[in-house]
Structure 1
Amino acid sequence: MADSRDQFAVGGMSCSFCAESIRKAYDRTDGVEDADVSLAHEEVRVRYDDDRVSEIELKDTLRDLGYTIRDPDKRERFREQQAELEAGKRRLALAGGASAVTAGLMLWMIVVVGRFESDSLAMDLVALGLALGTMFGPGRYILEKAINSLRRGIFNQHVLLEAGAFGGLLGGLLGLTVFPAFPTVHFFAVSVFVTTYHVLSGYTSLLVRTRASRAVQDLLELRPDTARRVTDDGVEEVPVADLEEGDRVRIKPGESVPVDGAVREGESTVDESVATGESVPEEKTPGDEVIGGSVNETGTLLVEVTATGDDAFLNRVAREIEAARATKPGIVRLADRVLRYFVPGVLLIAALSFLFWLVVPAVWSGGPFGTGPNVQRGAFAALAVLVLGYPCALGMATPLALVRGGGAAARRGVLLRSADAFQLLPDIDRVLLDKTGTITAGEPTVAEIASFGDDRTDTDVLATAATAEAFSEHPLADAVLECAGERDVAYDDPDAFDSVTGTGVRATIDGDEALVGKPDWLASAGVDVSSAAGDLERLRDRGLTVSGVARDGDLIGLLGIGDEIKDDAAATVRRLRDAGIAPVMITGDDERTARAVADAVGIDRVLADVLPDEKRDEIRRLQAAGHRVAMVGDGINDAPALTQADVGIAIGAGTDVAIESADVVLVGERLGGVVDAYEIGRESYRKTRQNLLTAFAFNGIGVAAATTGLVHPVFAMIAMVLSVSAVLANSFAGQLLSGDGVNASFAVRDDSRAAD
């Protein structure tokens, strides 16, 4: 046995039924040992014996089921998804137009003509054309999937839909040819409406998944396409893909770093928040490492390439996002679980109903069921079962709860992007919070000023520091100047200025030498800093970066610069505890700074110096221990963890990659939306369960009544409308009275697979 493994990117999956159909097909394929289908990531991983089945046969199995195999290149895959989305939009436009015309015909008959049965052959033929056009036009792909599923003995939503559509078509044809009492137009309408509904569901699901795939696409686009390679012959601009380890590239101020590498010449500050999430840039000198995707800020660097291709940082993060999606614990929806038995059950009941009215009256002549085979009643029974059995209200139960919850969430600045989030939020018992940009504002600010000397004030210290830093481009200098502006502290340009990379600045102010920078650097320049040891240690214990300010050889003060804690951070932590959820801080920052922030907001457990893949691994460990985990973050380094978590919550002011990797987005920077999302999710899930119970009741009672053959298919359709109306009324009861507009609900961007 030659054990092989392959992974395919699959197009066309829209719900858990699709994943189940693929899994069943591979289970019945000789030579396949195991198949793992990731609906969220639209991928299939297959382990097989390549002596018994080939890779080509595995791909053909997917194609036979009606799915496509996408290009393994991520950028090309994204373009294919866009093309599929355009095709889905065209199908929806055609099917939607046919439904509108069909609805018009039905209303004309009921309102104007005043009867169910049509007496116009022209109207019957128009309805027939609309049914055939919808089923074999925009709905043809559904038919192909149903046929290929049946060939493998798989009963899924495509099979049930086509049974209902063909049942309506058959009923209409019987009305045209055999039974004049049959409501021809209404039967044909069934075929149009159920097909259109499914086309709409498929398009919505594809739209959501295409948006989700942008996370990896945006991540890969952070890196420049070209780089300046330095050779013995000069400088040449080459594609980043052509760079090899050992090549040297020149990076100018303001440019993105194109590769992972080591600095060989030059000094600069580099914003590495892409990797660390921390707001204070790192000083880079020869020998230091730089990360592809970070931003060079002040100086020119010559960097030697140390990692390319799959080993580069951004590509590693992209793989971690994909791995997190593939291994993220899924949930089995109540609707999906029941529908696995509901689909074959409805088909069986429809067939048995027809046989019953065909056989029992003939065998039990003179009994309560009449005398002789009753073909018309059997046809009515079978067709009404298929109409009432199609789970329209069932499919809308979760989306409508999403709409309701989305409206309430949008008013509170919370965008709920995933249907799963509604079901998982009520079960969350651990929330992992990133520090920078999540608990804190993500921008360095002057948090405290300590002045020394009887005749000096904080204003004197700030004015000296601002004047010395006036020409500096360092982010910490920006914090000093911003603080001076906020406090209306006047400062001038220095008489002379010199920046000492990695340590501080030296300036001349009214003939005095002023130094602003690291206390150790001031000490090496002859400034006595021993008297400030207590204040220095106190500021550092608060997690602040400390800059000393000296003038004419004397230390006049200290500046404590840090990332300001958000106003609602402590209150949010208290609300989480009150809800029975344990908060945990997880950050790439150092232990001392992280602990200071955690103590300030009331978090007991802190995980510091954590890399992106380690955040993801910690979440996996908690999930393996049986916890439901939410992750809150805002940076690219948080994306794998946001994807791995049961519920990923992104701060809306964060990076696009983090937002696209999350299930919930908090608009702006308010952290309290975490608890708001939990409360709304809990209420919405309660509504979802009520909706499902209502839908199952309508379907169950309707199917049972339809077996009698006394339910006119028109009334079957009316019952479908009533079931949807009941679900709708329950979903929005109280919301409309409270002024919570439905328009706000468009914040919900995923009705996902529940729509099927």
Structure 2
Amino acid sequence: MEPTQKQFNVGGMSCSFCAESIEKAYARTDGVEDVDVSLAHEEVLVQYDADRIGEVEVKDTLRDLGYTIRDQEKEKRYELQQAELADGKRRLVFAGSASIVVAALMGWMIFVMGRFESDSLAMDLVALALALGTMFGPGRYIKEKAYQSLRRGILNQHVLLEAGAFAGLLGGFLGLSVFPGFPTVHFFAVSVFITTYHILSEYTSLIVRTRASQAVQSLLNLQPDTTRRITDDGDVEEVSVDVLEVGDRVRIKPGENIPVDGEVVDGMSTVDESVATGESIPEEKSAGDAVIGGSVNETGTLLVEVTATGEDAFLNQVAHEIEEARAMKPGIIQLADRVLRYFVPTVLTIAALAFLFWLVAPPAWGAGPNVQRGAFAALAALILGYPCALGMATPLALIRGGGKAANHGILMRSGDAFQIFPDVDRIVLDKTGTITVSEPAVSEVVGLEGTESEMLATAAGAEAFSEHPLADAILEYADERGVEYTDPEAFNSVTGKGIQATVDGEDVLVGKTGWLADEDIDCSHAADEIERLQQRGLTVSGVVRDGDLVGLIGIGDEIKTDAAATVQRMHDAGITPVMITGDNERTAKAVAKEVGINHVMADVLPDKKREEIGRLQDEGHHVAMVGDGINDAPALTQADIGIAIGAGTDIAIESADIVLMGDRLGGVMDAYEIGRESYRKTRQNLGAAFAFNGIGVAAATTGLVHPVFAMLAMVLSVSAVLANSFAGQLRSGEGVNTDFTIKNDDTGEVVEEGATAD
């Protein structure tokens, strides 16, 4: 029996420890067979045996851990995200205010009164109120998560935080009731500070995630809300797309979006299907041909019979693919979390043993149990062991690298982009819009009779009234070269084949060579040239004047000027570039050869790109995917690193980890180099943080480290991480600047200028 599969959008996840806690909880839940957690998109995919466990119990596991399950209706889901953000802000304001007050109390004691211990019961009680208010007010949810984790035997950051917070609370109570001279205010302050820090870190993480995308909604908005349905009586009625059923017939006029997947019943037209295929040259459609919802009808009127609706429709399938890819995306465990997996239980153990040592050991040398020293040892160990600097190491590298990337016109949208990019060994490049500019352009002109200018004048004159994209390419090419041409005296478009016109009294045909042969035009003397152009992956149009073939025009998708140089940079970095496209193998290999790519995946259907990325990952490769179209979105989500060309579709941009603000392909390797440098900084930061933590925890076990000094040491460790993160940036004058200027490395010429969005 196939397992039941349910996908949930989950609120409250802040780091990969959260993802690990969810995975461990389900691993210990009877009946659950597998679980995949996507922290970046806050989604959990659970596979379970419905005979052993119900959906309610599956959901209760998430809720018990302290996470929320958002409504599956996307608009309500986005509303819940905004509500969570507002709650997070309120928590932070309350906790932050308490931290400011308790810091002021400590400052008054140390710098005005000149002592660490309080002799004012009022100050002690104020500090106690602030500690209790912070821990059980805005910090209550942390305790609930810690309790549920402990109940399942899971040690995570919530458990470590609450251990420190309750240790501070206990130390303060001991000072109030048992041991006069205890630094009561400072103990209570510990509870306030570490709770506030955790709320701050979670709020920052929540801000990043709520910017993510309403991509699926943007995708579905491509479909028109209404369409014209043809009734059985032949009448036309305007209806909502939602009420269409398989077998209904709809009429689509030129310039309109095709509302549904269907099959052409009547009419001929060119249809821009780049929404699905990514290919820039429109497809000719006539009776019997399939059309895709969301594509654009360009020239003729079509009568289309609906073949798929609802979840079976192309755009809805893509939306489902994106959501599933997010949940199934390979788990990325941050470097810090790999260490913290062992660090947390170690710190808790050391703190407990230190306390017990100062209770049990002193009698061995003739002294009594030293409760105060044991309390100092345990609390200082928990303070110095709480990974504040560690938690900042990656975000600071992200801020520094993000500022540098912005100056290059690159938006790094996630920490994964920094952590994983240095390990990437395959970069998969979509062809159209990524390697090429995604617009038909004349690549080569071959004159067979007369001059090239005369032949171009004939072709441009014939195409002057045409609305076909290939005609636009010919006219633009002629204009750029200053070729003068006259409008046709007569004009007729033969859909899917070419045009017939009269120009300066001469009969002219411009179109596919196969059609010209059907019109009894002799093309045999140009067969070699036609084959050569086709081998280059070009669409060949023949130009005929008064029955004679006078020239050939090769039209293709122009390759970006920096494509070859960027591919070479990939080779130099030890990365294998791979081109993936739905185009035919001949065209794909021609483009790949021109830019220096040796590995080509051609004839890949839109819904198979994600599978190809997954296959590379299954082979052990770390994969980055670069694309710009809707058909690329599931693959961008599936890849370890998704990179979107900023000139592409919203859905591609929202599915990516990195966005190139222009259409310059070289930004891919700029991002790689920035990511590698930032990851190096992260490792340095972690080394510094763990050095402070490790030495501090060891020193704390002596019981001689005052909690105030422990907190100062924690501040010092944060300062060291800050200094390391930004020292190089400050020396070089770099800043987090949203304006960018892109220059040619060789000539210094400004290629592109602009500004990133805040």
- When the two structures are superposed, what TM-score results if normalisation uses the length of structure 2? 0.91
Check if 1:437 corresponds to 2:438: no
- Asked if 1 retains the 8 angstrom alpha-carbon contact of 2:457 and 2:485, the reply is yes
How do residues 56-455 of structure 1 correspond to structure 2 at under 5 angstroms?
56-111=56-111, 114-118=114-118, 123-179=123-179, 181-233=181-233, 234-361=235-362, 363-366=363-366, 371-453=367-449
Q: How far apart, in 2, do the equivalents of 1:708 and 1:678 lie?
A: 46
**2:556 equivalent in structure 1:** 562
Q: Structure 2: which amino acid aligns with 1:406?
A: G
- Asked if 1 retains the 8 angstrom alpha-carbon contact of 2:36 and 2:327, the reply is no
Q: Structure 2: which amino acid aligns with 1:337?
A: R
**1:53 equivalent in structure 2:** 53
Label 1:735 to 1:546 Cα distance change in 2 as closer, same or farther (>3 A).
same
**2:524 equivalent in structure 1:** 530
Structure 2: stretches of 5+ with no match in the other structure: 741-754
Label 1:384 to 1:471 Cα distance change in 2 as closer, same or farther (>3 A).
same
Q: How far apart, in 2, do the equivalents of 1:375 and 1:671 lie?
A: 65
Q: Structure 2: which amino acid aligns with 1:420?
A: D
The secondary structure found in structure 2 opposite 1:155 is coil
Label 1:457 to 1:98 Cα distance change in 2 as closer, same or farther (>3 A).
farther
Range 98-107 or range 478-487, more displaced: 98-107
CA deviations on 1:8-65 (whole Å, 9 max, x unpaired) are 3332222222222223323333444444444344343444454543332222222121
The secondary structure found in structure 2 opposite 1:558 is strand
**2:668 equivalent in structure 1:** 674
The secondary structure found in structure 2 opposite 1:567 is coil
Label 1:13 to 1:480 Cα distance change in 2 as closer, same or farther (>3 A).
same
Q: How far apart, in 2, do the equivalents of 1:252 and 1:101 lie?
A: 68
Label 1:599 to 1:188 Cα distance change in 2 as closer, same or farther (>3 A).
same
Shift of 1:184: 4.1
CA deviations on 1:286-343 (whole Å, 9 max, x unpaired) are 2111101111122222111111122211122222223333333223333222222322
- Asked if 2 retains the 8 angstrom alpha-carbon contact of 1:406 and 1:745, the reply is no
Q: How far apart, in 2, do the equivalents of 1:459 and 1:687 lie?
A: 59
Label 1:663 to 1:684 Cα distance change in 2 as closer, same or farther (>3 A).
same
Q: Structure 1: which amino acid aligns with 2:291?
A: V
Shift of 1:718: 0.8
The secondary structure found in structure 2 opposite 1:400 is helix
**1:753 equivalent in structure 2:** none
Shift of 1:112: 5.2
Q: How far apart, in 2, do the equivalents of 1:409 and 1:379 lie?
A: 47
**Aligned partner of 2:512 among 477, 495, 518:** 518
Shift of 1:124: 4.6
Shift of 1:701: 1.2
**Aligned partner of 1:633 among 619, 627, 630:** 627
Range 187-196 or range 387-396, more displaced: 187-196
How do residues 3-18 of structure 1 correspond to structure 2 at under 5 angstroms?
4-18=4-18
Shift of 1:686: 2.0
**Aligned partner of 2:543 among 544, 549, 562:** 549
- Asked if 2 retains the 8 angstrom alpha-carbon contact of 1:417 and 1:748, the reply is no
**1:736 equivalent in structure 2:** 730
How do residues 646-665 of structure 1 correspond to structure 2 at under 5 angstroms?
646-665=640-659
Q: Structure 1: which amino acid aligns with 2:63?
A: R
The secondary structure found in structure 2 opposite 1:528 is coil
Q: How far apart, in 1, do the equivalents of 2:230 and 2:43 lie?
A: 41
Q: Structure 1: which amino acid aligns with 2:304?
A: V
Q: Structure 1: which amino acid aligns with 2:314?
A: F
Label 1:3 to 1:325 Cα distance change in 2 as closer, same or farther (>3 A).
closer
Q: Structure 2: which amino acid aligns with 1:351?
A: A
The secondary structure found in structure 1 opposite 2:678 is helix
Percentage of matched positions with identical amino acids: 76
Range 199-208 or range 141-150, more displaced: 199-208
- Asked if 2 retains the 8 angstrom alpha-carbon contact of 1:78 and 1:217, the reply is no
Shift of 1:623: 1.8
- When the two structures are superposed, what TM-score results if normalisation uses the length of structure 1? 0.92
Label 1:194 to 1:749 Cα distance change in 2 as closer, same or farther (>3 A).
farther
- Asked if 1 retains the 8 angstrom alpha-carbon contact of 2:522 and 2:549, the reply is yes
CA deviations on 1:155-199 (whole Å, 9 max, x unpaired) are 221111122223333334444555554444443333333222222
Q: How far apart, in 2, do the equivalents of 1:303 and 1:421 lie?
A: 44
Label 1:105 to 1:498 Cα distance change in 2 as closer, same or farther (>3 A).
farther
CA deviations on 1:82-134 (whole Å, 9 max, x unpaired) are 33233333333443444444445545555555544455555555444443333
Label 1:749 to 1:154 Cα distance change in 2 as closer, same or farther (>3 A).
farther
Q: How far apart, in 2, do the equivalents of 1:298 and 1:99 lie?
A: 66
Q: How far apart, in 2, do the equivalents of 1:748 and 1:14 lie?
A: 26
The secondary structure found in structure 2 opposite 1:446 is strand
Q: Structure 2: which amino acid aligns with 1:356?
A: F
Shift of 1:440: 0.9
- Asked if 2 retains the 8 angstrom alpha-carbon contact of 1:516 and 1:548, the reply is yes
Range 458-467 or range 538-547, more displaced: 458-467
Q: How far apart, in 2, do the equivalents of 1:696 and 1:76 lie?
A: 42
Q: How far apart, in 2, do the equivalents of 1:130 and 1:486 lie?
A: 73
Q: Structure 2: which amino acid aligns with 1:567?
A: T
How do residues 13-52 of structure 1 correspond to structure 2 at under 5 angstroms?
13-52=13-52
Q: How far apart, in 1, do the equivalents of 2:730 and 2:128 lie?
A: 40
Q: How far apart, in 1, do the equivalents of 2:594 and 2:32 lie?
A: 55
Range 412-421 or range 393-402, more displaced: 412-421
- Asked if 2 retains the 8 angstrom alpha-carbon contact of 1:612 and 1:640, the reply is no
Label 1:745 to 1:422 Cα distance change in 2 as closer, same or farther (>3 A).
farther
Shift of 1:392: 0.4
Q: How far apart, in 2, do the equivalents of 1:9 and 1:742 lie?
A: 32
Range 635-644 or range 179-188, more displaced: 179-188
Range 389-398 or range 33-42, more displaced: 33-42
The secondary structure found in structure 1 opposite 2:446 is strand
Shift of 1:640: 1.7
Q: How far apart, in 1, do the equivalents of 2:120 and 2:489 lie?
A: 96
CA deviations on 1:653-674 (whole Å, 9 max, x unpaired) are 1112112222222221111222
CA deviations on 1:616-667 (whole Å, 9 max, x unpaired) are 2222222222222222111111112222222222212111211222222222
What is the root-mean-square deviation in Å for CA atoms of aligned residues? 2.7
Q: How far apart, in 1, do the equivalents of 2:31 and 2:435 lie?
A: 52
Q: How far apart, in 1, do the equivalents of 2:572 and 2:2 lie?
A: 55
Q: How far apart, in 2, do the equivalents of 1:51 and 1:559 lie?
A: 66
Label 1:89 to 1:286 Cα distance change in 2 as closer, same or farther (>3 A).
farther
Shift of 1:152: 2.7
Check if 1:488 corresponds to 2:488: no
Q: How far apart, in 2, do the equivalents of 1:5 and 1:476 lie?
A: 47
Q: How far apart, in 2, do the equivalents of 1:333 and 1:509 lie?
A: 67
Check if 1:617 corresponds to 2:611: yes
Label 1:52 to 1:598 Cα distance change in 2 as closer, same or farther (>3 A).
closer
Label 1:139 to 1:492 Cα distance change in 2 as closer, same or farther (>3 A).
farther
Q: Structure 1: which amino acid aligns with 2:293?
A: G
**1:505 equivalent in structure 2:** 499
Q: Structure 1: which amino acid aligns with 2:420?
A: L
CA deviations on 1:406-439 (whole Å, 9 max, x unpaired) are 2332222322222223232222222221111111
- Asked if 1 retains the 8 angstrom alpha-carbon contact of 2:564 and 2:594, the reply is yes
Q: How far apart, in 1, do the equivalents of 2:141 and 2:652 lie?
A: 34
Q: How far apart, in 2, do the equivalents of 1:538 and 1:33 lie?
A: 56
